[in-house]
Chains A and B, each alone.
Chain A
């Protein structure tokens, strides 16, 4: 296995990356306040964190915050398109290094990885020097967690199974990587699952995997579901996507959104943010849902709620936000309007059936520019697919703005500290962050916005039965 210290697209982009990191630091007050608060106590000293999370400028501020709290870190991106190459270069070089003498952290990420390269990068991030294993995982989508679990499972079974005909291309790659690993370093993943104190998981998709694993009894270490912190899910999923969806569509296509018919598939937090921003730009938004509560919410917010089948021929812009698979199939795309725009903002690329699209007889793909493809059907009509069906806000734009990510990532740091410093409080299972930490994350962001908080009097606090300093809401409260 390679022993490269890092692998990025172009190490000479580091200066540009460092400038953007400095701009982002100003927009990430929660992370910067965390650095100040824990500068002395160094709660993450001794932590060996493997991170699998979009290697962006904002993530760079997260990584350097973890380092500032005493952690050692290795990093890979969790998506083949989402790396910002200047961010990766700046992290590899570090604040004190130069491109000729890099002193940063081992990062393995570049924009436009193949699936094989992507999993190679993940393995690099999980592979520590001197045969050591990571003792913490910071995951986004659950790929790092999946990999070590599958590795340990196959090590116990003695072999990696052969792929079947119906396996996805990606699963075949994962099995290949694990087969190589079992040959090179037997027992590596068994040791890893024993060493890892826990994982903090960033996103809905990964959280879903974790709950499934825990239910099946296969989860090997505790997990904190960062996604469901209020200051994560509402901010990142709703406000972040509200911002970056439009940004991605604009950068990718430059179409006027006003007057277009947009279909938002799914009306969870992400769908709500997407629908709001599309409407704000003047689009007429239609929503699809499977959940009657979310569907009713959409209707109450004034959206038409329909099915993909009913409206597929009248929609100009399709956005999948479900976290589920097989949302838009090739047969649907065949019925779309000429030059309909199709994009996904859900975590994985299985919401839009790209394989089915590519397998359509007679279809032709014309690349317009990076992350923008026009697919021409035999009947002559074309559709425009953004980021090959992967999340377009990261592929076509630069993802969530720094301020939103500061909320998400401050939760990540709190969660890392929780598990690393209090392992006894977290037996194997899936947890959300305690309410007082959620409130703390919010509090750390108020000053930067000039927010003045009203303070409860003791009498008022007693009247509603909460401490003056919080937490203010019961755990089941829905913000």
Chain B
């Protein structure tokens, strides 16, 4: 393994300054992390600890990293996607903040995993798991946790006090690791809190996926037939946003409860095989694999646009698309590749089938990431402070953390809420009072 790859990276003059400016801009929209940075600076919950993080390297991530460092942590950061790194942000963190950053936009698969290994300490004399192994891990998609489990010695895993996972995809992986007994330390599933489901998936993904779709394709959505595969929290938000922009939205689902929800919201629900010939835009948001396959691609309309909002690039079968194609025009627009089929049809694949909101746009807006990252920061602080390690399993975010984060955001927005009176509390706690 090459251990000097990051050392080869040289930042372009001015790049770090550009990134620093964008981080400052994001900070203004991230009041929760700002409040936490002040609190952490006073309480120093991470003093002397190493946090290994695998996150999309964006301005918002940088604000999180700064809050963790304010709490005393050393942070080693790798990207959680080969395409999503914003190089100016990486440069700013590396040169200005002194964070150990292992990330660059547009790397290949091997380099991507090499970066993760480096964040785990692979460049130390003892390799992953020398004396400087992570105390806490912060993951986004599960690649860092899975690399740690496959490559580190058992005592290194024992040292990890716990981790935090930010995406649904990662949580699904962790649950499978826990189910087969592999998971060696506790992980909190931060993607799964009621507040993040609402704000991050529903609102953040919705806005930024549409943003990515529009930037990459340049189309007018009004009047288009948009097929959204998956009606989970992300799919709901994407579908509602697309509809608000005038699209006619078709939903595909495997879960009858979600499908019923879609129908009752007035969406047309079809099997993907039936939706494939009528859709003009396809957005996958399932967290699953092989959603749009060759059989669907074979019957799509000329000019159909394909985009994936799920974490991994497995929802659209890009290989099948390549196999069907007789020619590919790369980057007909930035992040849009036109695949020409034998019969003359052209299908437009956005962001190479990778997560479109991060590749073709800037990911979630900072307000959304503020809440998601604030919950993760609060969770890591709780893990850091808990004297007895939790069992090695996937745990939910404690509900008081969820509520505290929401309350802090509301305070920052200047929104005031009511509180239950003692009499109301007593009423809700009692079964004796009826009509």
Kindly provide the distance from the CB of B257 to the nearest chain A CB, expressed in whole angstroms.
13
Q: How far is the CA of A301 from the CA of B260 in the complex (A)?
A: 23
- Provide the residues of chain B in CB contact with A259, threshold 8 Å: 260, 263-264, 266
Check: B327 CB closer than 8 A to any chain A CB: no
Does the CB pair B223–A282 fall under 8 Å?
no
Interface residues of B in 227-250 (CB under 8 A from A): 243, 245-249
Kindly provide the distance from the CB of B214 to the nearest chain A CB, expressed in whole angstroms.
16
For B243, the closest partner residue in chain A by CB is A302
- Provide the residues of chain B in CB contact with A36, threshold 8 Å: none
Check: B265 CB closer than 8 A to any chain A CB: yes
Residue interface bits A273-290, CB-to-B below 8 A is 1, else 0:
000001101111100000
Does the CB pair A296–B223 fall under 8 Å?
yes
Report the number of A-B residue pairs with Cβ-Cβ less than 8 Å. 41
Q: How far is the CA of A258 from the CA of B260 in the complex (A)?
A: 10
Q: Tell me whether A285 and B266 are in contact in the complex, defined as CB-CB below 8 angstroms, given that A302-B247, A302-B248, A304-B248 are known contacts.
A: yes
Does the CB pair A258–B222 fall under 8 Å?
no
Check: B267 CB closer than 8 A to any chain A CB: yes
Interface residues of A in 9-38 (CB under 8 A from B): none
Residue interface bits A289-307, CB-to-B below 8 A is 1, else 0:
0000000100111111000
Check: B156 CB closer than 8 A to any chain A CB: no
The residue that A300 contacts in the complex, of B223, B263, B266, with Cβ under 8 A, is: B223
The residue that B266 contacts in the complex, of A258, A296, A299, A301, with Cβ under 8 A, is: A258
Q: How far is the CA of A160 from the CA of B249 in the complex (A)?
A: 57
Interface residues of B in 260-275 (CB under 8 A from A): 260, 263-268
- Provide the residues of chain B in CB contact with A283, threshold 8 Å: 266
Does the CB pair B265–A258 fall under 8 Å?
yes
Q: Tell me whether A282 and B264 are in contact in the complex, defined as CB-CB below 8 angstroms, given that A299-B223, A300-B223, A301-B222 are known contacts.
A: yes
Q: How far is the CA of A282 from the CA of B222 in the complex (A)?
A: 19
Chain A residue total in the interface (Cβ 8 A):
17
- Provide the residues of chain B in CB contact with A281, threshold 8 Å: 266
- Provide the residues of chain B in CB contact with A285, threshold 8 Å: 266
- Provide the residues of chain A in CB contact with B248, threshold 8 Å: 299, 302-304
Q: How far is the CA of A282 from the CA of B267 in the complex (A)?
A: 8
- Provide the residues of chain B in CB contact with A296, threshold 8 Å: 223
Q: How far is the CA of A147 from the CA of B246 in the complex (A)?
A: 45
Does the CB pair A302–B266 fall under 8 Å?
no
Does the CB pair B265–A302 fall under 8 Å?
no
Does the CB pair A302–B264 fall under 8 Å?
no
- Provide the residues of chain A in CB contact with B268, threshold 8 Å: 284, 304
Does the CB pair B223–A302 fall under 8 Å?
yes
- Provide the residues of chain A in CB contact with B246, threshold 8 Å: 300-302
Residue interface bits B95-129, CB-to-A below 8 A is 1, else 0:
00000000000000000000000000000000000
- Provide the residues of chain B in CB contact with A303, threshold 8 Å: 248
- Provide the residues of chain B in CB contact with A256, threshold 8 Å: 264
For B225, the closest partner residue in chain A by CB is A304
The residue that A282 contacts in the complex, of B245, B247, B265, with Cβ under 8 A, is: B265
Interface residues of A in 248-286 (CB under 8 A from B): 256, 258-259, 278-279, 281-285
- Provide the residues of chain A in CB contact with B245, threshold 8 Å: 302
Q: How far is the CA of A285 from the CA of B248 in the complex (A)?
A: 10
- Provide the residues of chain A in CB contact with B247, threshold 8 Å: 302
Residue interface bits B203-230, CB-to-A below 8 A is 1, else 0:
0000000000000000000110000000
Residue interface bits B177-200, CB-to-A below 8 A is 1, else 0:
000000000000000000000000
For A262, the closest partner residue in chain B by CB is B266
For A283, the closest partner residue in chain B by CB is B266
Q: How far is the CA of A285 from the CA of B266 in the complex (A)?
A: 7
Kindly provide the distance from the CB of B372 to the nearest chain A CB, expressed in whole angstroms.
29
Does the CB pair A302–B263 fall under 8 Å?
no
Q: How far is the CA of A283 from the CA of B245 in the complex (A)?
A: 18
Q: How far is the CA of A281 from the CA of B263 in the complex (A)?
A: 11
Does the CB pair B267–A302 fall under 8 Å?
no
Residue interface bits B248-260, CB-to-A below 8 A is 1, else 0:
1100000000001
Q: How far is the CA of A282 from the CA of B245 in the complex (A)?
A: 17
For B222, the closest partner residue in chain A by CB is A300
Residue interface bits A301-321, CB-to-B below 8 A is 1, else 0:
111100000000000000000
Does the CB pair A284–B222 fall under 8 Å?
no
Q: How far is the CA of A302 from the CA of B267 in the complex (A)?
A: 11
- Provide the residues of chain A in CB contact with B243, threshold 8 Å: 302
Q: Tell me whether A282 and B266 are in contact in the complex, defined as CB-CB below 8 angstroms, given that A296-B223, A300-B222 are known contacts.
A: yes
Kindly provide the distance from the CB of B241 to the nearest chain A CB, expressed in whole angstroms.
11
Q: How far is the CA of A309 from the CA of B14 in the complex (A)?
A: 64
Q: How far is the CA of A283 from the CA of B264 in the complex (A)?
A: 7
- Provide the residues of chain A in CB contact with B263, threshold 8 Å: 258-259, 284
For A258, the closest partner residue in chain B by CB is B264
The 10 closest A-B pairs by CB, nearest first: A258-B264, A300-B222, A299-B223, A259-B263, A259-B264, A282-B266, A284-B266, A302-B246, A300-B223, A302-B248
Chosen A-B contacts, 7 in total, with CB atoms closer than 8 Å, are: A256-B264, A258-B263, A278-B266, A299-B248, A302-B246, A302-B248, A304-B268
Known: A284-B266, A302-B248. 5 other contacts (CB 8 A): A258-B265, A259-B260, A259-B266, A282-B266, A304-B248
Chain A residues proximal to chain B, CB less than 8 Å: 256, 258-259, 278-279, 281-285, 296, 299-304
